[in-house]
Amino acid sequence: MSEKLRILVVLPMYGGSLPVGRYCASALSRLGHLVESFEAPAFHGAYTALKDLRVSGERLEQLENGYLQLVSQAVLAKVDSFEPDLVLALAQAPMSRAALRRLRKDGVATAMWFVEDYRLFTYWQAYAHFYDFFAVIQKEPFLSQLAAMDQPNALYLPLAADPDFHKPLELTPVERRKWGSDVSFMGAGYPNRRVAFRQLLRHDFKIWGSDWEGDPVLAPYLQLGGLRIEPADCVRIFNATRINLNLHSSVDPSRLVSGGDFVNPRTFELAACGAFQLTDQRTLLPESFGPDEMSTFGSMDELLALIDHFLARPEERETVAARARQRVLQEHTYERRMETLLDFVRARRPGWPVARQRDLELLAELPDDLRGDVRALLDRLGLGANVGFDDLVQAVRRQQGELSGLDAAILFLDEWRKQYRK
């Protein structure tokens, strides 16, 4: 592995990219890097409370923008404390242009993984130029548009799965009754889905997810009153369902199967769970899965025929699902995606990361009576014996719970060093 990096992952306050950010942080940690997450969701409650003030729309917009500027300043404070080699932001992370300009001035590398449809969510136009690196889940014409607006470091980086989380489960009969069905869909109630799913009501069919209000036809099939489904429960649904539908979203109800380009995270997550899925055809899907690994449809007539076909053939479902899972484990994990992103940054930014002043090997410099205690601490923190003191301090600060005497001594020594330097 390359040199251990310090990486700050800036999470969005809410939304579909939030779990993706957490998967990225976990993957980077497993790759051996020192990772901190800026927990923007902790600020979401105050942000939503602004809407309850009953002020004018213009004044509310001013308050919301001011609050987001404040959260951006909190990100900068975290950067000052953590001193990361890279700040990785996920789509809709609270990063203002002023904060990004400040990081660029300070020489801190920044990257955005824009895991949304650029045609539908156009706010990227105001921010893409200010990131040093901009990873996206679509190709042309998006990449050309980014180059035209002076973003030369754009990277196609498709979504992925976390096999430690998205995996086959042994479910009890009670769990299978609760979460399972012949056919199910997990996701938001976009217009094309609302129309398409009316053709599936003759099946044992369940709909999971939010934003399905106001549809009396589908209401009897909506589970848990349309609550947002937690990621862990999504995995249970995937495992319990015989045929998981994966119809990509569209705001155009006249075209039920949109035939778009990007591949959504559900495609990879279902495959990692070893769950069978029927997904609509996407132009970028063949780059990730072969025809014997993913069953696709290009129209509702094809979908209806495939449902009947595969409900009657459980062995065939299992074979296809097993092939898709194997492909994900080999090529489509978040660890692989993070390796690709970091390699891209290294290739485009000569001299990155900037070499830190490394301390002498800790253990070699310690008295015999302390060496064993420090070695045990390093083992507990997952650090090597040649770790620098600054990295050790950061790892101690990241711990949860009560500090040991040795932990406190290390933090005290760090504060003493800072005062001595001043």
**Residue-level pLDDT, tens digit, the chain, 422 residues:** 457 899 999 999 988 899 999 999 999 999 999 999 999 999 999 988 998 888 898 999 999 899 999 999 999 999 988 889 999 999 999 999 999 999 999 999 999 999 999 999 999 999 999 999 999 999 999 999 999 999 999 999 999 999 999 999 999 999 999 999 999 999 999 999 999 999 999 999 999 999 999 999 999 999 999 999 999 999 999 999 999 999 999 988 888 998 899 999 999 999 999 999 999 999 999 999 999 999 999 999 999 999 999 999 999 999 999 999 999 999 999 999 999 999 999 999 999 998 765 444 555 666 777 777 877 787 777 666 666 677 777 778 877 777 888 888 878 887 887 777 65
Res 398: pLDDT: 75
Residue carrying structure tokens 């950067």 = 79
Q: What structural domains does the chain harbor?
A: 6-160+334-348 (3.40.50.2000), 173-331 (3.40.50.2000), 363-421 (no CATH)
Question: Which two structure tokens, joined as six digits, stand for 44?
Answer: 């979401």
Residue carrying structure tokens 């056919």 = 183
Amino acid at 332: H
Strands laid side by side in the 133-136 sheet: 34-38, 6-10, 86-90, 109-114, 133-136, 154-156
Spatial neighbors of 208 by CB under 8 A, at least 6 apart, are 184, 185, 186, 187, 223, 224, 229, 234, 237
Sign of CA dihedral 403, 406, 411, 416: positive
> How far apart, in whole angstroms, are the C-alpha atoms of residue 278 and residue 41?
33
Res 1: pLDDT: 45
> How far apart, in whole angstroms, are the C-alpha atoms of residue 21 and residue 19?
5
Res 392: pLDDT: 78
Q: pTM of the full predicted structure?
A: 0.84
> How far apart, in whole angstroms, are the C-alpha atoms of residue 82 and residue 79?
5
